[in-house]
Amino acid sequence: MRTCINGATTMPYPLEEDIRSAARAGFEGVELWVPKVEKYLEEHSPEELREALGDLKVASLCPYGLGAFSERPEENRDRIGNAARLAGAIGCPVLLVCPDVPPQGMGEAEAFRRAGEEARRLGEICEEYGVSVALEPLGMHPFVPGPREALRIVEEARHPAVKLMMDTFHYYKSSVPLEEVEAIPMELLALVHINDCEGRPKEELTDGHRLWPGEGVIPLEEMIGAVARKGYRGFLSVEIFREEYWKDDVEGITRRAKESLEALLNRIGRHDG
């Protein structure tokens, strides 16, 4: 598995510093936080961004929305199209998309049909640029709290550019059983976000309660070990939204992220691809 850091982990810092610090820390990949990318592109070109990345691989651009129940789906499709064009230009294979919530009164079957249909449309848009969309289940989300629901949308979409991702915090908050993690087809698992969290009641947990891997209560060795044993060799990306961590300088944040990830990998076995 390959090491990666998400731009949310270094939220206060600009894209250029994210890239430089990730490279210095020895990460193999980065996830680019979209608001930072948009700010960067106000004064730079996609070609300059690709050059700035050097040997770093871009694991994803994030976050985006699925927009299955939007009143203006064309606007979201246009945004996804522009993102896919950029992703193709910088060698990024994945756009992460978060689910929205069906309107009150819509039946379950219709909601999944609508979500699958929209996912297929986004997949068709992205396919032109060699890019996939990956659905991100969210902790205790009313529609897509875990991989079982995300896979149902993937099945409804019936498109090779529609996949899913795993976030250890969200899966933990949703109480996703290990059996569901083990049941994910590895060819559909586009990316893994890795993080830990405080030992609070799950209904109280927010993104701000995330911790460095290995410093909280999430059974990371079991969760990551499960996908590693099944052949996952993609990126493990440290994504943490914690203001306490953000107070450190960018080098300190990135270094600590890498150290905690390396320690976890050493405990479970490297499983390098």
66 part of a folded domain: yes
Residue type, 122: L
Q: What is the pLDDT of residue 270?
A: 61
Q: What is the pLDDT of residue 272?
A: 59
CA gap 203, 215 in Å, rounded: 20
**Residues 210, 213, 215: CA angle, nearest 5 degrees:** 75
Distance of CA 251 to the CA centre of its chain: 22
20 part of a folded domain: yes
Residue 104 has pLDDT above 60, yes or no: yes
273 part of a folded domain: no
- Mean pLDDT within 224-252: 97
In total, the chain counts a number of residues equal to: 273
Q: What is the pLDDT of residue 40?
A: 98
Residue type, 1: M
Place of tokens 């107070």: 247
Residue 273 has pLDDT above 90, yes or no: no
Q: Considering only CA atoms, which of 22, 116, 32 is closest in space to residue 69?
A: 116
For 202, residues 6+ apart whose C-beta sits below 8 A from its C-beta are: 139, 140, 172, 173, 175
Per residue in 124-160, pLDDT (tens digit) is 999 999 999 999 999 999 999 999 999 999 999 999 9
255: number of Cβ within 10 Å: 16
87 part of a folded domain: yes
CA gap 193, 79 in Å, rounded: 23
Q: Considering only CA atoms, which of 88, 40, 36 is closest in space to residue 62?
A: 36
Per residue in 37-93, pLDDT (tens digit) is 999 999 999 999 999 999 999 999 999 999 999 999 999 999 999 999 999 999 999
Q: Determine contact, residues 186/147, Cβ cutoff 8 Å.
A: no
The tokens describing 154, both together, are 């993937």
Indicate the Cα dihedral angle 41, 76, 131, 43, nearest 10°. 0
Print the domain residue range for 230: 2-268
Q: Is the pTM of this model over 0.85?
A: yes
Q: Determine contact, residues 23/55, Cβ cutoff 8 Å.
A: yes
Residue 111 has pLDDT above 80, yes or no: yes
Q: What is the pLDDT of residue 269?
A: 81
For 206, residues 6+ apart whose C-beta sits below 8 A from its C-beta are: none
Three-state SS for 31? strand
Residues facing residue 261 across a β-bridge: none
Q: How many domains does the chain have?
A: 1
CATH code for position 43:
3.20.20.150
CA distances (Å), origin 124, targets 22, 62, 69, 158: 32, 19, 18, 11
163 part of a folded domain: yes
Percent pLDDT > 90 in the chain is 97
